Structure 1
Amino acid sequence: MTDTEAHETRAPGPAPVHWKLVIDCGNPQTQADFWAAALHYEVEDNNALIERLLELGALPREAVVEFHARLAFRDLVAVRHPEDPVEPDSGTGLGRRLLFQRVPEPKSGKNRLHLDLHPGPDRREDEVARLRGLGASVLREVKEAGGQWVVMADPEGNEFCVQ
């Protein structure tokens, strides 16, 4: 039996779990703008959902801000991969997403989770320069037997690597 035949005869397992990465921050809108530009993602447009929630009285006006000439949640903003599907009634991405949520305390230590960006070794230097232009900073350059990368920080100090 070939691998393909074995795969086709296996009983289907549970569906994969849908997820998003949630990042605590002081200013969700600033973080969303940075990461949308850094990843070439799109800031989600929740304007229609917010308008409905306001009309129903389910959302207080103080929970909303104007962001990119449309209504946005004050404390939550997501960015999504531009090719992934979107739920049309809410503007919420249904695929790869980063959600930035406002928290009162500042970042206080090293990240326990971080993103690795992979532009490729030929493009690393240009990508680092582009990200610096967006507001990131270089923390250190790493050269080890296993490879090399640049450790950077986003505008709020969250570490990420450029491979």
Structure 2
Amino acid sequence: MILRHVTIDAGNPYELAQFWSRVTGWPLGDGDEPGDDEVLVNAPAPVPGLLFISVPEQKSGKNRVHIDWVPTERTRDEEVERLLTFGATIHEDHRQPDGRGWVTMLDPESNEFCVERSESERTA
């Protein structure tokens, strides 16, 4: 089996996909446009894409599944600051004085995701 997409419910799939495209640097699917009911953020193989689909109801509770991100070009704290400029917010801050920990953030539609320490921070 191959994991093809991670599918995320959205009030506005195109806007949410644009946010995640900026965050990841991955392009939107060919032909995806504002107002589409499904919008894909294409990830490089073998990573699954992020598929945003329109649903009528708003998010009402904690996600049952969320994505953990590990920065590759920045530290965890630099990545958190970068994501804040794109419209993410900090939900729970689990950073510890010794540098360990993670930050749980919310995307513009309040879906939780975590930012962990980079590999270089883990090996330091």
Provide TM-score, normalisation by structure 2. 0.81
Which structure has the bigger radius of gyration?
Answer: 1
Does residue 80 of the first structure (1) align with residue 50 of the second (2)?
A: no
Q: How does 1:2-151 map to 2 (within 5 A)?
A: 16-46=1-31, 66-67=33-34, 74-81=36-43, 83-84=44-45, 96-119=48-71, 123-143=75-95, 147-151=100-104
In structure 1, what is the Cα distance between the partners aligned to 2:2 and 2:89? 34
CA RMSD, 1 decimal: 2.2
Specify every segment of 5 or more residues in structure 2 that has no aligned partner in the other structure, as ranges.
117-124
Q: Deviations over 1:82-118 (max 9, x none)?
A: x44xxxxxxxxx9620100010000000000001110
Q: Which runs of 4+ in 1 moved over 2 A?
A: 16-19
- Percent identity over the alignment? 41
What SS does the aligned partner of 2:94 have? strand
In structure 2, what is the Cα distance between the partners aligned to 1:37 and 1:79? 10
In structure 2, what is the Cα distance between the partners aligned to 1:39 and 1:123? 15
**1:119 Cα deviation after fit:** 1.0
Q: Which has the higher strand share?
A: 1
Q: Deviations over 1:6-36 (max 9, x none)?
A: xxxxxxxxxx234211100100011100111
In structure 1, what is the Cα distance between the partners aligned to 2:52 and 2:42? 12
What SS does the aligned partner of 1:129 have? helix
Residue of structure 1 equivalent to 2:120: none
Q: Give the total of aligned pairs.
A: 113
What SS does the aligned partner of 2:59 have? coil
